[in-house]
Copies of this chain bind each other. A is one copy, B any other.
Amino acid sequence: GPPRHEFRRMITYQTPVLAEWVDYNGHLRDAFYLLIFSYATDAFMARIGVDPQRDQHSLFTLECHLNYLHEVKLGTEVQVRTRVLAHDRKRVQVYHTLHLQGADEVLAASEQMLLHVDLKGPKSAVFGEASLAVLDEAFEAQRHEPAAEYAGRRLDEQCQGQQESRGLSR
């Protein structure tokens, strides 16, 4: 059948910004944006049927890129939406965006490359057929959505051609 609607806007995590995540100014610290995305990855992993405690497989983060677009204050209710940008038989490239609940503005974005791992090695492992089917379904449901604006970036792209720089204009 057609891709299920739930994958077009896949909400993987919702939380208020907790007191232990903010700096002395009451703003979410950079690392805790990633913690929120990390909990979203846990939920995504469950959604594709990978369960470390049941079957000794997990997703390891190989690499991740974050863009911080807006400050987020203590107590704010936020949610993470997740897209499958790509996958092969062992890896999945996801794109998480952070939002105020129900709002489209992107507060932060994170592109991540995740590797399916057999914890008994640990060694990389091919996804099970059920997981591959869910990954395909999510990919198909989302591929006609607007481009993932902060994916595929090099960190220093914004710096090219700046004046008065030391080493920034390579």
Contacts and interface: CB of A to CB of B under 8 A. Distances in A.
A66 B68 contact: no
A73 interface: no
B53 A62 contact: no
Interface stretch (A3-11, A74-82, A83-91, A98-106): A83-91
- How many subunits of this chain does the assembly comprise? 2
A88 B159 contact: yes
Given A30-B61, A35-B31, A61-B30, A86 B152 contact: no
Contact of A68 (B52, B60, B67, B164): B60
Interface in A101-124: 111-113, 119, 122
A152 B152 contact: no
A30 B110 CA distance: 13
Given A85-B167, A88-B166, A136-B166, A65 B155 contact: yes
A154 interface: yes
A38 interface: yes
23 contacts: A25-B119, A29-B38, A30-B38, A31-B31, A34-B34, A60-B68, A61-B66, A63-B155, A65-B66, A71-B122, A86-B156, A87-B167, A88-B159, A88-B162, A88-B163, A91-B168, A93-B155, A93-B159, A93-B168, A113-B155, A135-B166, A152-B154, A152-B155
